[in-house]
Amino acid sequence: MIDSAKLESIPEEDLYYFNIGEHRRIHRYLGAHHIGAGVRFAVWAPNAREVAVVGSFNNWNVHSHAMRKRGGTGVWERFIPGLHHGIFYKFAVRKADGNWYFKTDPFARFIQNERDRTPILTEDYYEFKNPRPADMDKFTRPLNIFEVHPLSWRYRDGRPMSYLELIDELVPYVKFMEYTHVELMGIMEHPYIPSWGYQVIGFYAPTSRMGTPSEFKQLIDAFHKEGIGVILDTVLVHFPKDDTGLACYDSDHLFECPIPERKVTAWDTFYFDFGRSEVRSFLISNLFYWIEEYSMDGFRFDAGGHFHYYEFKSDEQHKWFIQRYGNCHNPEGFRFMQTMNYSVKQEHPEILLIAEDSTIASGVTKPVEHGGHGFDYKWDLGCTSHMMKYFRAPFDKRCDKYGDLTYPMLYHHTENFLLPLCHDEVVHMKRTMVNKTEDLSDFEKFANLRVMYLFQFGMPHKKLLFMGQEFGQMNEWNEKRELPWESLWDHKHKTMQWYVKRLNEVYRYIPAMHEGDNIENGFEWIECLDYRQNILAFIRYNKDYSQMMVYLLNLSKNYFGDFRLGLPFPGKYHKVIDTDAKEFGGNGHNWVDEYHTEEIPAYHHKHSIQTKLLPLHGLLFKSVDILR
């Protein structure tokens, strides 16, 4: 017989590991939990004079259900019999000033966002019917991510689609487009939609704007049924100053860094205090919660560079900090980051850990055991930036920016990289992907975009594309509006969508498109110096070098009727992708599919093929029968 009194109180052992920063599942104990014939409430507030549970069950009376403090652990708890799911509640915290403050439960699993951020004790159990997609080699398998902000992806009846509606719309769309993974933005509960979900108040709560926790689990299960992995866009570096959230929870600082000059981020939010053991338990448990309760396949860590490097709102603050401390390194954050990644990989090595790190730090994707940060992939924001410099430049200045396309290959072997064309690139006057180069006709803009995407898929990186860019969205993304789906009635947009689908298929099913991303000599230039004519040509190999894909890109408006491309091996090559094909919105002027090499030197190779190369035109060839 289980002692019910023990169930009503948190075990001492769990409180001990929480206090030393070693608890990986403290969410099972802190917060509100339905146990037996009632609910156990527990909250960490070591600086509070008093704490009480208030809610719809006691008319929000701070004197009705006082909580008791568990010694020196800083944890307060109270078991209230007779309560069930459906109640509204908060913790009333009496601070040193003698005043009571109503605070949201840091471990709340469901928060009524539009009503004072009030937690709701809800039934969130769901039995997953489909396992995660088959575990394969993280580095040789295809990884092609569709980045989605569900609150603005598509509307129904004037509002964002619900989790259950997304099962019928988003899941089949991602499957149709042949993406391997979907990355979901703005899932953790946040009070301010224009923050895109990066100012979180509910780290354990999927946003209630689209439904309940169990309905969100059904959405993830539906993705898994179709073999699609789900990556959660998360931010564990900082949190907003929202009064009802973590900020100043029981004093001037609890979750936030106590050192004034290290407290506030460049976004005017608070840095987490990574040096505090209980905060480390809170954050690491958060990852295990989403992995084990929601069957997540991976995480993309927003502002990942801030784990180990402070940034500030002004140059003056930055200079002052450098003068005082000598550098902007965050040693506590660095150690936490290593512990976090090591913990996840120790128990769940299949989980993808992806860092958005804009710093020049080395070892981001090196294992923790070897002194690295411990992530699997790093967003190559440098490569994205160089790409955008080229494509945003006036067309007649492209030759001056040619090196921006080739430079990233000088360092690509230093990390496991993912090349993102993400949400940040289509906001704040940066222009959408199809409008990056302004001084082009509409036909030329779409031709230009097709070549840009072919270049992205040729780079030895994993891939990511933000929603709407797959069909050439014309206006910048607005998080308060749905995507312009009506544009798909236009031939240019519909054929662009078809082109991206075809490119995704080729990437997914042809090994040389993805297996050689992280192997020595998996990438080889044929031409990377022709800045006058803006010609690029290169080769991608599969992991045993038995298969090769050849890329030929004309980023100029020049026409080459008999362009000769040198190749390292003689034989037969099949054209897999032609960006000018009519099915993709082009003119269809190059109708040859099979090419046989001739013993005519070109581009430092003895053998070559001859092809027609049109303005803003890209060709992708696959080796079929070659002699080595």
Which residues are known catalytic residues?
302, 356
Whose tokens are 């900020």? That residue is 247
Map 594-615 to HEC letters. EEECECCCECCECEEEEEEECC
Give the start-end residues of each E strand in 27-134: 31-35, 38-44, 50-55, 68-69, 75-81, 89-94, 100-103, 111-112, 118-119
Quickly count: other Cβ atoms within 10 Å of residue 568's Cβ: 18
Residue 183 dihedral angles phi and psi, to the nearest 5°: -110, 125
Of the candidates 228, 209, 215, 254, which has an alpha carbon nearest to the alpha carbon of residue 95?
254
Question: H-helix or E-strand containing 358?
Answer: none
Secondary structure (3-state) at 462: strand
CA pair distance 78, 96, nearest whole angstrom: 21
State the amino acid at position 574 in one-letter form. Answer: H
Side-chain-side CA neighbours of 550 within 13 Å: the count stands at 21
- Here the tokens at position 24 are 């990986």
Decide: 558 and 578 in contact? Cβ < 8 Å. no
State the amino acid at position 214 in one-letter form. Answer: S
Helical segments of 306-380, H only: 315-325, 331-347
Decide: 272 and 281 in contact? Cβ < 8 Å. no
Residues 6+ apart with CB under 8 A from 323: none
Of the candidates 418, 491, 363, 406, which has an alpha carbon nearest to the alpha carbon of residue 144?
418
- The Cα-based distances of 361 to 337, 356, 421, 596 in angstroms read 14, 12, 21, 46
CA pair distance 96, 104, nearest whole angstrom: 19
Quickly count: other Cβ atoms within 10 Å of residue 56's Cβ: 14
Decide: 589 and 580 in contact? Cβ < 8 Å. yes
State the amino acid at position 248 in one-letter form. Answer: C
